[in-house]
Amino acid sequence: MFYHLYLSLPIKQIKLPLKDELSNILKIDFTILKKSLDARRKGQIKLNITVKAELNDKKLKQLKYICNKITIIHPPPLLEERGTGGEAKPLTTHHSPLIIGTGPSGLFCALRLLDHGVTSTLIEQGNQIEERAKKVQEFWQNGKLDLKSNVQFGEGGAGTFSDGKLTTSKNNLNIEYILKKFQEWGAPEEILYDSKPHIGTDQLQKVIINLRNYLISKGCTIKFNSEATDFVIKDNSIKEIIVNNEDAIPTEIVVLAIGNSSRKLFKLLHKYKVAMQVKNFAVGFRVEHPQKLIDKIQYGKDAGHSALPPADYKLTFNKNNFGIYSFCMCPGGKVIAATSETEKSVTNGMSIFARNSGFANSALVVSVNQEFLSKLDGPKELRGLLFQEILEKKTFELGGNNYFAPAQRLTNYLENKTESSPINCTYNPGIVNQNLNKILPEELNSALKEGIRFFDQKMKGFITQEAVLIGTETRTSSPITIERTKHGNSLNTLNLFPCGEGAGYAGGIMSSALDGIQIADNIAKQHF
């Protein structure tokens, strides 16, 4: 009979790689189901592990005898196994679904449609990953920006150049489905059991390539360098997608799986009065610390133990209706230039699977709420987007009009002092000493500073001369929500299915993939 075995191992007792350590303790064959780190008590950090093993009565008694710290439980019922691709069905529409965007929501929407036996066409304004990665590197090294293929746009979406986190706050049966697909296409096995799975930008790119090849092998069409530049809308439905201002693609079902930087499309949809609302988001800066410093703060005396990953953190604070929080924390990562527009500068964080840069970074942001947005100029639905553009333009100018980033020590930002001494950080193409207080409105600066001081109370040593602040983080989430019904289609454009992060329904790789799956299920139920 199969059992689940739960163990809690003090870090200090772990001398070998985890699987070897467990083999020494259990002396049986097993499969790791879950691994999490309990670092609430510094100096007494533990790894909590659940494994599955087949045990007869004799082995069960032996196991109880050799280790009294093992909790043995019967496994829960197996989750429903999700489909892996059905036979192609005859369409009840004349045209296959057309998906705009090849980020996680678009790719997993296409994959799930295949589970229903439906092939789709995907269009992407940027390049395939192989060419896209070269253009991103050229931008980081030489400041040469490709407007169609960059950190934000191209195969895989913005998450392609990130930490590759595969976490989500949602509780959904499809989480296991997604993780298994990632593992099937090249991600490390540990993502299936780690409580904070991540694959890094290097592993993620391999997975996306394999997913692309799978979709094509099953009959899907993917058109790169194909930007949706206009729509032909009649009778509250999109009849054609205009690509690259030239080609018209007839369509009956459109999945809008774009990213949160798709401003041209946001403005185009607003022009056509597609139902949308301004949405709260957050802005701020990226902070970078030496990873050893964060490890020491989080792990105490156990810092440096081989069984411990580079430490992360998650911090929150509220002040006068403003939420202040850390966002997209990247242990062992680097800060990257992430713009997709000329004369605008944006930061983000990224790491490879090994997380071995020696530095830790995170966005420190303050929420842009409805009260604040109501004071801004411009069309109500686009005020957040326009505010982002203003901040990014300021940042570009402060950086020297060449995609260098303005930066200063965290201590000097808090004291509103202009930076004078040299600063080192991981950001490329480069940085310029500046006073970041010049970028955000004082109302937001004040709230952000109070939050940072509170963070230092929670993590003693967070405020330090070694911490560098880099500007500016603006694209934390979409500044709009494209409104949809409970069936997933637009409120007033009936065959348009807004999906994922750009539409305002997700934030990150996993939640975007989950939303793509949900939209695919809705489409299959209604149309096929």
pTM, to two decimals: 0.93
Among 154, 102, 473, 492, CA closest to 324: 473
**Phi-psi map region of 219: left, alpha, beta (phi>0 left; psi -120 to 50 alpha):** left
Q: Is 288 helix (H, G, I), strand (E, B) or coil?
A: strand
pLDDT of residue 2: 87
pLDDT of residue 90: 45
Ranges of each domain in the chain: 2-73, 98-277+482-527, 280-473
> Taking a C-beta distance cutoff of 8 angstroms, is the pair 223, 440 a contact?
no
- Sign of the Cα pseudo-torsion (340, 344, 350, 356, in order): positive
Tokens coding 93:
């529409």
119-144 pLDDT, tens per residue? 999 999 999 999 999 999 999 999 99
Tokens coding 258:
């774009």
Among 393, 387, 384, CA closest to 344: 393
Task: For residue 472, say if its preceding peptide bond is cis, omega within 30 degrees of 0.
Answer: yes
Angstrom CA distances, 393 to 305, 344, 409, 472, stand at: 44, 5, 22, 10
What is the DSSP annotation of 328-351? EEETT-EEEE---STT---EEEE-
Bridge-based pairing of strands 121-123 and 221-223 is parallel
Question: What is the side-by-side strand order in the sheet with 254-256?
Answer: 221-223, 121-123, 98-100, 254-256, 496-498
Task: For residue 429, say if its preceding peptide bond is cis, omega within 30 degrees of 0.
Answer: yes
DSSP code of 302?
G
Distance from C-alpha of 76 to C-alpha of 269, rounded to nearest angstrom: 47
The one-letter amino acid code at 408 reads Q
Q: How far apart are the first and last CA of the chain?
A: 42
pLDDT tens for the chain, 528 residues: list them.
888 988 899 999 898 898 998 898 888 899 999 999 999 888 889 999 999 998 888 887 777 766 656 777 766 555 444 444 444 444 455 679 999 999 999 999 999 999 999 999 999 999 999 999 999 999 999 999 999 999 999 999 999 999 999 998 777 889 999 999 999 999 999 999 999 999 999 999 999 999 999 999 999 999 999 999 999 999 999 999 999 999 999 999 999 999 999 999 999 999 999 999 999 999 999 999 999 999 999 999 999 999 999 999 999 999 888 999 999 999 999 999 999 999 999 999 999 999 999 999 999 999 999 999 999 999 999 999 999 999 999 999 999 999 999 999 999 999 999 888 899 999 999 999 999 999 999 999 999 999 999 999 999 999 999 999 999 999 999 999 999 999 999 999 999 999 999 999 999 999 999 999 999 999 999 988
Buried b or exposed e, range 331-349, using 16+ CB within 10 angstroms: bbbbbbbbbbbeebbbbbb
pLDDT of residue 80: 47
- Sign of the Cα pseudo-torsion (28, 34, 37, 40, in order): negative
Among 279, 261, 286, CA closest to 448: 286
Tokens coding 31:
């499969």
pLDDT of residue 369: 95
166-203 pLDDT, tens per residue? 998 777 889 999 999 999 999 999 999 999 999 999 99
Angstrom CA distances, 145 to 120, 245, 344, stand at: 31, 21, 11
pLDDT of residue 3: 87
CATH class of 2-73: alpha beta
pLDDT of residue 213: 98
> Taking a C-beta distance cutoff of 8 angstroms, is the pair 110, 44 a contact?
no
Which stretches of 364-409 are DSSP H helices?
A: 370-373, 383-398
Distance from C-alpha of 168 to C-alpha of 182, rounded to nearest angstrom: 15
Range 98-277+482-527 has CATH code 3.50.50.60: yes
Q: Which residues pair with residue 230 across a beta bridge?
A: 242
